Structure 1
Amino acid sequence: MHPNILIDLGGGSAMTLLRKKMIGDMQLHHFSQSTQKSYEMSVFKLAKYYCISPDKISEDQLKDYILYLINERSLKWSSINTITAGLRFFYRKTLGREDLALSIPLRKNPSPLPEIFSPDELVSLFSCVRNVKQRVMLMTAYAGGLRISELIKLKVSDIDGKRMMIRIENGKGAKDRYTILSSRLLEELRSYWKIYRPGYWLFTNKKTKRHITKTVPRRAFDQAKGRAGIKKKVTFHSLRHSFATHMLEAGVDIRTIQVLMGHSSIGSTAVYLHIAKKNLGSAKSPLDLLYVPDQ
């Protein structure tokens, strides 16, 4: 159930007014549509859990709800952090209840290193797609280091064959940027265009004439991964991780990769230093520097 559906949770019109105020507050903070929906849903589900308006919920009830998410729902840390971020925003910005916002604990996310495709695995993945459109979708995501949300909203005009650049409009954080256009990808895109003749959107839904949804490339990826027999715990987003890692291994400086990836902080890009074979493979163990006689 979506919070856009007006439902009486004990707050009546007060709930509707709070929702409108929260949406206005999020718009003033320039939150993306996906963040707005996520935060709104966090508050909606809290209110639904207690069947009362969220401005009537106590500090103890807030803590009990978070414990319910941890112990009974067994949600991942990342999911809980998203929910609590929405709740903190609501109580701090919309209600002005700093006391309640501070009562919502911060949880530190574990930071596992992402899985990366080897070149051979990428060749197998691209070879196991069902058609040209799916192949070009996956190749574009890898070749430009794109997020899935950026891929599906590419326009034909975003492909700049003269400058060999791809324009990403309104990416994460509502930022525009350019990334590189590979000559091989340009060839693939031209072949794709001759077959599908896309209009405004590069990847179009035939029925709606709008851009495709995230489900389309995600499903194409999962099916190709299965047919390729790839057992690693990789997802569609691993194409982006692999782009950054392979660029680093090829000798591209980390600052350039940060710009191409659209990272606000160099720290987000620095994680690939921990993965790149160029950096790890060239390092020697201190044991190798010791002379230890054989027994």
Structure 2
Amino acid sequence: MTVFIKPFNEKYFSVSFPEKFNDTILNAVRTVPNRIWNNEQKIWLVPSNQNAMNLLLENIYGTNLFNFEDESYSLPKPESFLDSELNKLDSALKVRHYSICTIERYKKWVRNFLSENEKIESGSENQKINEYLKSLALKKNVSSSTQNQALAALLFYFRFVKNTPVETLSSVIHAKKKVRIPVVFSREEVVKVINNLTGTKKLIAKLLYGTGLRLNETLSLRILDLDFDRNEIIVRHGKGDKDRHVMLPQKLIPELKAQIELVKKLHEKDLAEGWGKVAMPEALGAKYPHGCNELKWQWLFPQKNRWKNELTKEEGRFHIDESLVQRAVKNAILEAGINKNASCHTFRHSFATHLLESGYDIRTIQELLGHSDVSTTMIYTHVLNRGAGGVLSPLDRL
């Protein structure tokens, strides 16, 4: 297999696979933060910075799909110490059932930290962590939430991989968390954005606003998660690995049933061609060995093309990639002429705010959003029309 990595512009490198690729090599690119799929040129765009490139090369090396003894091979092998520490971190996170996103982010921060501190000396943990956090804040100008995320990753690494007592890490720098008011669409803006979308992406946007789901929760829905008799959607393994129920918008029932029919036809076609298996959550594949072929376990929003595993020669489908929906919504916002720093997540903010405006109590909205603490939900009270936008200025009384 051959992978071409070339400069694309000042901000990105292009990554392309001229031969048939499999899910393993595809995930090597997908796990690089801020990567973009260029559908016109059929290439991946990876940020033109050292951290992103190091991660990409390490991921490609880890696929074991390349002959590294070939003299023409030019990708550097990762350092054995770094590789060993990241493997230990990966195991420690997985055994505690951290989410895939959290695992990748923690590994990114620890990888970056270890690259700047090649070997951790005993008794110097606090100093090294503080120096690294200062560098993030003063040189890279990261936000307080990003700085605290990096701190959480490093504390986990030292506590559970290096077995450093918690007491010795008591003097590390904690950034003051800032309260930000969420960006919210008006009802008219919601209609404008949705009307600028088409097909499956339009249905996904309606679900985001109509249920308050996060984007990854929406794309992770399977057919069995929709209960039309009880008028509810079951969200499984949400943030914090929590399940919850949300309402099923009545207006979307015909569209969702039509979507299920499309999935059914696609699944029948895959089965007829000898495929049709879908990845099962956790250990359910062993409990239900034939479940991967059943319609109810299929993704509600499957990807357009099947991926092929070159090692097993099997073909299957995953759900639509988040980046495709994010880019479509971003373009729809621009076409609607909305000058807000909005995204897919703005639909969730709008869902909560509009329910508050309609008179629903904060506890109900907390349960629908899946917040552990009501104080997280209370942020939406700051953007109600009864707040600053509903106060008559004294200037208007002159």
TM-score normalised by structure 1 residue count:
0.86
Q: Mark the CA change 1:132 to 1:274 in structure 2 (over 3 Å): closer, same or farther.
A: same
* Amino-acid identity (%): 29
> What displacement does 1:99 show?
5.5
Cα shift readout 1:63-99 (whole Å, capped 9, x = no counterpart)? 2222221222222222222111100111123223235
Query: Counterpart of 2:245 in 1: which secondary structure?
Result: strand
* 1:116 matches 2:184: yes
C-alpha contact (below 8 Å) 2:259/2:300 kept by paired residues? no
Moved more, 241-250 or 84-93: 84-93
Cα distance, 1:269 vs. partner?
0.9
Describe the superposition over 1:164-208 as per-residue Cα deviations: whole angstroms up to 9, x where unpaired.
101111100111111011111223323444556565111111223
Per-residue deviation at 1:28? Answer: 4.1
Amino acid aligned to 2:181: L
Q: Give the structure 1 partner of residue 237 of structure 2.
A: 170
Q: Following superposition of structure 1 onto structure 2, how do residues 187-226 of structure 1 map, counting pairs within 5 Å?
A: 187-193=254-260, 197=265, 199=267, 200-208=298-306, 209-226=317-334
- Per the alignment, in what secondary structure is the counterpart of residue 170 of structure 2? helix
Structure-1 separation of matches of 2:96 and 2:378: 28
1:133 is matched with 200
Residues 280 and 66 of structure 1: CA distance in aligned 2, closer, same or farther (over 3 Å): closer
2:96 maps to 29
Q: Deviations over 1:24-62 (max 9, x none)?
A: 332343321211221122111111123x13466654333
Q: Name which of 370, 373, 380 aligns with 1:272.
A: 380
Equivalent residues of 1:81, 1:107 under 8 A apart = yes
Say which SS state the counterpart of residue 246 (structure 2) adopts.
strand
Greater Cα shift, 87-96 or 259-268? 87-96
Q: How many angstroms apart in 2 are the aligned matches of 1:205 and 1:125? A: 23
Q: Is 1:46–2:46 an aligned residue pair?
A: no
CA shift at 1:278, angstroms? 4.6
In structure 2, what is the equivalent of residue 77 of structure 1? Answer: 144
- Once residues 198 and 165 of structure 1 are traced to their aligned partners in structure 2, the CA distance between those partners, rounded to angstroms, is 25
2:157 aligned with 1:90? yes
Distance 2:217 2:138 in 1: 35
Q: Matches of 2:387 and 2:129 in 1, distance apart?
A: 46
Label 1:164 to 1:278 Cα distance change in 2 as closer, same or farther (>3 A). farther
- 1:277: Cα distance to partner? 2.1
Residue 255 of structure 2 corresponds to residue 157 of structure 1: no
Cross-structure match for 2:173: 105
CA distance in 2, matches of 1:268, 1:198: 40
Q: Which residue of structure 2 aligns with residue 246 of structure 1?
A: 354
Structure number with higher strand proportion: 2
Quick one: distance in 2 between partners of 1:198 and 1:115?
37
Counterpart contact for 1:15–1:53, Cα < 8 Å = no
* Richer in helix (by share): 1
User: Which structure has more RCO (C-alpha within 8 Å, separation ≥ 6)?
Assistant: 1
Kindly indicate whether residue 359 of structure 2 is the aligned counterpart of residue 261 of structure 1: no
Q: CA RMSD in A?
A: 2.7
Structure 2 unmatched runs, 5+? 1-53, 63-76, 268-297, 307-316
- Partner amino acid, structure 1, of 2:174: L
* Distance in 2 between residues matched to 1:20 and 1:198, nearest whole Å: 38
Q: Given that residues 222 and 300 in structure 2 are in contact (C-alpha distance below 8 angstroms), is that contact kept between their aligned partners in structure 1?
A: yes
Closer, same or farther: CA 156–59 of 1 in aligned 2, 3 Å: same
**CA, structure 1 residues 247+84, in 2 after alignment: closer, same or farther (shift >3 Å)?**
same
**Taking structure 2 as the reference length, what is the TM-score of the superposition?**
0.65
State the alpha-carbon separation in 2 of the partners of residues 85 and 198 from structure 1. Answer: 43
Relative to structure 1, the CA distance from residue 68 to residue 132 in structure 2 (aligned partners, 3 Å threshold; closer, same or farther) is same
Q: 1:183 to 1:70 in 2, by over 3 A?
A: same
Which of residues 60, 63, 70 is equivalent to 2:130? 63
